[in-house]
Structures are given as C-alpha cells and as structure tokens.
Amino acid sequence: MDDAKSVSTMSSSGTKRKRMSPGFYAVKAGKTPGVYYSWSDVLEQITGYKNAVHKKFNTLSEAEAFLNDDPNSGKGSTQKYYAVQSGRVPGVYTDWPSAQAQITGWKGVKHKRFDTRAEAEAFVAAGKGIAPMTGNSTNVKDNDLESEASLSDARKGCKVSDSVSKKQKKNDGSAVLILGDDLDKDVEPGTGLLPPDAEDGFDDRIILNPVDGTIEYKTEHQMNATKLQPTGEIKGPIIIYTDGSSRGNGKVGAVAGVGVYFGAGDDRNVSERLQGPRQTNQRAELTAIQRAVDIAPIDVDIEIYSDSKYGISCVTEWFKNWRRNGWKTASGKTVDNRDIIEPILERIDMRKLAKANTKFVWVRGHANDPGNEAADKLAVAGAQRSMGSVPAVDGEI
C-alpha cells in the first residue's frame, strides 16, 4: 500500500494526522482510493463520486487487504456468523448490521448467531430443506460494501431503494445464498429457473438489449447499480419518539430493550431486544436513536423526541470535542458507546447532504406525553423478548 500511504496518513489540510483513532476507512472506489483515518476525509473522496465503495476496519492491515481484495481480511478468531433462515435475503452474514437489514420489518423472521460458518450455513439450509452449499457460490453483497448512490443524486431529493438489497451480487463471502444463479449459466437467458427472490415471476437478472432486442444477462455493473426513488409526497418533519429500557440497569443479568414510535399502527414502529453483552440503559437509548435515523427517509426532515439527555447530548454537542480528542474524554478515557454514536453521526451527515434536517427534542419521561409513553411501552416490551425474536413491532400501539 505504498502508493496510498501519503493519502492514508494525511488529513484534508495536508498535515500528518496522529493515529489516535482505532478506525481505518478504506475507500476502494472514490476520487482517491486509499485508507483514511477520519470520516470527514472519506466524505471528501466519495461526495459526488458515483457508485463509491468504502468500508471501515479496526486495523490498517484489514483495510489494506480490503483494497487488495484479500478474502482473509477481517477474519479473526472472534468472528461470528449470523444466519438468516427467513428474511429478505436468507443467507450467512459476518456482521450484525448486515443481518439486521434482512430481518427488519420482515414477518416471521428466523435467525441465529454461530461461531462457525458451517453451522450457520446448515441452519439456513434447514429452512430450505436442502444441504448447504460450499465452494463457488453466488453471494449477496455485504451492506457495508454495497455501491452507494451518488451523493449529488441524494441532494436532488431521492433515496436509495431497498429493492437493491434483493439483487444477487458478488462479494467477499460475507453472505452466501443457499440458492444461486449458477444453475442458469448454461441455459439461454430467460429460460432457466427463477431465482429465489424473483417477484411476480420475473427474473431481474436479465435485460433486453436495446440494440438488437435480444434477452441477455445483466453485467455485474448493471446488477450492482443502485436504484434511486423519490420519496413521493412525504413532507416533513416526521415526528419520531425513541426510548430505551433496561431491567436491572447496571447489574449482572440486566436486560435492555429498544423502542421507536412513528405513530399508532405504523409498520415502522420498533420493539426489540438490545443486542450485545452490555445491556445498559444508555446503549438502549442510543440504539433507539440509531434505529430512528436509519428507518426514516434520508431526504425528509425529522424530529426525534427522546427523554435521554445523555443520548441527545452525545450526537448534538459532546461528539465535537470527542472527535478533536481522538474519541477520548477530557480525563483521557475512551468514550463509551462510540460504536453506536459514530454510525448515528454518519447517518446525520448523509441526511445533510440530502438536504434533510435532523432535529432532537428532549421530553420529560413519564410525564404523560402520549408519544413518549408509547415509545416506553415498545422498549419495555422489547426487553422482554427473546434474542431470537428481534426486531419486532408492537401492533397494539
């Protein structure tokens, strides 16, 4: 990576950056591909660049391996495999956010975490009644690696269509489909078996050649193209209430839940168990905010009402000094919950590029505010759910 070293170790102002932050951002497709140490530098490389590809890593070697297409990058002894047996795109994923994207809002989801890929593939295969595939297989592209829409397009009032996640794409092996399109490679386009994600009997892997009118398979570039869709007549601001709940907060055996309330009977309402071993109220509050900004349309103004002064302060004020200090507190300690705070800030930055405002409003908890009370009920219900039932929507609210 000698050719990218000067880019990787320089800030946007041209001065050498101290390596205080453990995050390494690999820009594989952008204005200047390379490894960067801050999200602001990454934004400079991908803003206005169509189909930008980037991913964050914990070590420099992993980031460089990603740029060099090293299939072993990011794989360690603590690697977990998330098997989605029933969801948008069943398969095996190597990170929770990618798996969560396949089950959020999907009815009758079935998923489980495993320590080995073989166990995960067997779990997915059990849902299809077939043996797990090995060797060369068709892959679903990791959410972190999906080609992103041009940010200039986002500024025009468009949002990324969820339908792109239904396409079968090739990736570094983070998610493996049980049934792939390899079965159709030896037959004429349009005459083979339909892929498992086909809708209305249509195979979206084929396209009509505009020159001679023949049917042919889409190229990898065409399959990876991101669709943009206008949000329609939705006008902001969208009012969202968030809340977190932790039974036994601060004690061994604590159980936390997340609640997001868009409105009565709204399918976007969320009631889910907080993921991870740290079941604290603060992490639940921040996760609820993260879920809200992720679910809301990227180009529509939103107002998030929360009774957590901590959560609001983290993403509106405190982060400014934390960033300057390399994510250290004034006393030199590592900032807690950075793994949740940074994705929220990145999403807010993307919303700004799409000309959408993100406003936070503090509301007193348990003060008979209908929206806050509804979010609280969703969070409490989420804490009571088993790990295998997330995410869930409280249909009674």
Tell me the catalytic residues.
243-244, 285, 307, 366, 376
Coil, helix or strand for 133? coil
Which residue type is seen at 298? I
Calpha distance 238→234 (Å, rounded):
9
Give the C-alpha separation, 192 to 3, whole Å: 45
Tokens of 390: 């997330």
Residue listed under structure tokens 């793994």: 339
Give a three-class secondary structure readout of 198-254.
CECCECCCEEECCCCCCEEECCHHHHHCCCEEECCCCCCCEEEEEEEEEECCCCCCC
Question: Tokens 């068709």 label which residue?
Answer: 138
Helix 39-46 × helix 338-353 angle, to 10°: 30
51, 40 contact by CB (below 8 A): no
